[in-house]
A and B are shown apart, each in its own frame.
Chain A
Amino acid sequence: MYPGILLIDDDDDDQFIFSTALEEVVPASHCHISNNALEAFQYLNECTRVPDMLFLDLNMPLMNGFEFLLILKSEARFSLIPVVIFSTSDNPEDQFRAKELGALQFITKTADIQLLKKDLWHIFNSAPVMESMIH
C-alpha cells in the first residue's frame, strides 16, 4: 500500500519543491495537492481513502493553517491523521502553537532542498504508520 500524502499550500513553487523532495525520499508515495484549506476539506470529504499524513502551510489566504488544524482535529474521522506544519515561519511562538494544536512536527521552509529531504526522511522514519508502509 502506497503512502498517501496530502499537501496543503497555496504557493506553486513550494508545491513543486515539496513534491520533488518527497519523490526522492519516499518514491512510492502518492501526493495530492490542495491549494487552500477549503479545497483540502473538499478533498478529505470526497476521497475514498483518508491520507496517511498531512503537510500543512500556515500562511494561506482566507483560512490559515492554524484555523484549519483546529477544525481538522475536531472531526473524529480526521483527528488521527498526523500533521506536519510546513511553513516559512521561524517564530518559536508558532512552533509552540502548532504543538499545542496537535501537530506532529514543524518544518521551516528554507532554500536548502537537501535539508528538506533530511527532515522528511526523519519524519517518515519515526512515524510508526509510515514505517510499516515503507519497509
Chain B
Amino acid sequence: MTESIDDLLKKIESLEERLADSEQLIDAIRAGEVDAFAVNENNHPEVYTLQSGDYAYRVLIEEIGEGAINISEDGLIVYTNSSFVELLGIPYEKIIGRFIGDFIYEESKEKFIKLFNESLHGRSKGEIILSAGTNIIPVYISLTSLQPKLATVGIIVTDQTRLKLHERTIFQYQSELEQKNIELAQNNSELSSFTYIASHDLQEPLRKIQTFCNLINTGSNEELPAVTRDYFQRILKASTRMQNLISSLLSYSRMSSRGMDFEMTDLNNVLDDASNNIRELLEESHAVIEHEPLPVISCVPMQINQLFTNLILNSIKYKTGDTAPLIRISARPALQDEIKSPDTARDGTNYWKIVFSDNGIGFEQQYADRIFELFQRLHSRFEYEGTGIGLAICKKIVQNHKGFIYAEGKPGLGASFVIYLPSNR
C-alpha cells in the first residue's frame, strides 16, 4: 500500500473542490455572466473566450456598416463599434469613455437631449448633426433604452451625408427651376404686351397709307396717268396685306397660356358650336362633317373651339376642285407608345387621339412640320389666300393644353390632322 487512506481522502476533497468550481463556472457560463475564463494549467495561464450563441450578435454589431454605440445615463460612451469610429473620423481612444455631447454639433444639442430623454422611456428616432474635428456629419439616430438589462441607451447611427448632399442638389435645381419659370413668365408677358402694342401702333401709319391711297385713286382720275394709278393700287394692296399680317400676328399673340380657364367640356358641344359659327361657309361649300362621339375633357372651351374651327376652315379652303369637302372626325383613347412626337409624352398621362381627316388636295409628307410654322405656306398667294397662321394657332392651342399635334398628307388624297389631348388633369 503506497498511499494511505488519509492521502486518498485529501485527494477526494481537492477533486470535489475542483468539481464544485467547474460546476460554478458552468452555471455562470449558462447564466451568461461569463464570456471568458482563465485556466492555470501547469503554470500556463490561458484565457478562453466563449464562442456561445451570443457570438453571432457580437459579430453583427462589430462588423455592421452603421454606427452602434452605448451611452450611459450620464451620456458617456461606454461602447463604440468601428463603424462609428470611422464615421467620426477620429481615433477610437478619443471616443471611448468620452461625453457624447462632445461630438454633437452645437445646433443639434437641444434636439439630441430631447431624443435622449425620450428614449429613456422607450425609443426615439431623429436627425441630428455630429461634429468631430473639422467634420460635420448629418446622421439619423435610433435610440433605445437597454434597461433593465443594462443601464445604458443603445444608439444606431446612420450616416446621411450623401443623402443630404442629394437633397441640397435637388433643392438647388428646384430653386433654379422656379427662377427660370419666373423669368419665362416675365418674358412671355413682355412679349405679349410688346406684340400687342407693336401690332396696334403699326396699324396706325398703315391706315394712313391706305386712306391717302384711296383718296388719290377716287379723286381726280382723269389727271392721273394710268401707270401712276396702278402704282398707287399696288401700294394699297401691299399695305392691305401688311395689315392682314399684323392682325394675324395679333391673334397669334393672344393665344397665351396664362390666365386660361380650364373646364370639363363636352367636345361634341364645342364641335357643334364651331360648325354653327361657320354655318354659311359650310353651306356655300357643301361641306359635310361626320364625327364619332367625342369625349369630355378638361380644356379651355374657347381655344378648342378655335382649334376645331381652324381645322375645318383649312379643310374647306384646300378642297379638291369642286368636290364637296368631306371632313371626318374620329376619337379614341391613345395607346401609351403611339405618340410620335419629338417632345416626350408625360409619364402617366392618358391621352385622347382625335383625328380630323379630309378629302382635299393634301400635301407632301415632307412638309408636315412646316405647315404648323407661323406664316409658312405651301402655295403662292395667287393660288390660295391667307396669311399662313391658322395651323400655327392650332399648334399653339394644342401646346397650351399640353397635347401634341401632327399632320399626315398625301397629295391629291387629302390630309389628316392628329391631335393628342390629355384626358386626365
What is the interface of chain A, defined by CB distance below 8 A to chain B?
13, 17, 20, 88, 109-114
Q: What distance in Å separates the Cβ of B200 from its nearest Cβ neighbour in chain A?
A: 8
A111 touches B210 (CB 8 A): yes
Give the contacting residue for A113; candidates B203, B209, B215; CB below 8 A.
Answer: B215
Q: Is the CB of B204 within 8 A of A17?
A: no
| Chain B positions near chain A (C-beta within 8 angstroms) | 203-204, 207-211, 214-215, 218
Q: A17 contacts B211, CB within 8 Å?
A: yes
Bound: A114/B215 CA distance, A: 9
Question: B238 → chain A, closest Cβ, in Å?
Answer: 13
Complex Cα gap A110–B211 (Å): 8
Q: Give bound CA distance, A110 to B209, whole Å.
A: 11
A109 touches B207 (CB 8 A): yes
A114 touches B218 (CB 8 A): yes
Q: Please pick, from B203, B204, B209, B214, the residue contacting A112 in the complex, using a CB distance under 8 A.
A: B214
Q: Is the CB of A111 within 8 A of B211?
A: yes
Q: Specify the main secondary structure of chain B where it touches its partner.
A: helix
Closest residue of B by beta carbon distance from A112: B214
B2 CB → nearest A CB, Å: 135
CB distance from A102 to the nearest CB of B (A): 26
In the complex, A114→B219 CA distance in Å?
Answer: 11
- Closest CB-CB distance, A127 to chain B, in whole Å? 25
**Are A88 and B211 in touch, CB under 8 angstroms?**
no
- Assembled-state Cα–Cα distance A89/B204 (Å): 11
Nearest A-chain residue to B204, judged by Cβ: A88
Residues of B within 8 A of A88 (CB): 203-204, 207
Among B203, B208, B210, B211, find the residue whose CB has the most chain A CB atoms closer than 10 A: B211
Complex Cα distance, B204 from A13, in Å, reads 11
- With a cutoff of 8 Å between Cβ atoms, the chain B residues found around residue A109 in the complex are 207
The 3 closest A-B pairs by CB, nearest first: A111-B210, A111-B211, A13-B208
Q: Which of B203, B210, B214 has the most CB of A within 10 A?
A: B214
Q: Which residues of A contact B215 (CB under 8 A)?
A: 20, 113
Expressed in whole angstroms, the Cα–Cα distance for A67 and B90 within the complex equals 79
A111 to B208, CA, bound (A): 7
Once the chains bind, are B207 and A111 in contact (CB under 8 Å)?
Answer: yes
> Bound complex: CA of A113 vs CA of B214, how far in Å?
8
23 residue pairs from A and B, CB less than 8 Å apart: A13-B208, A13-B211, A17-B211, A20-B215, A88-B203, A88-B204, A88-B207, A109-B207, A110-B207, A110-B211, A111-B207, A111-B209, A111-B210, A111-B211, A111-B214, A112-B211, A112-B214, A113-B211, A113-B214, A113-B215, A113-B218, A114-B214, A114-B218
In angstroms, Cα B217 to Cα A112, docked, is 12
Query: B354 → chain A, closest Cβ, in Å?
Result: 32
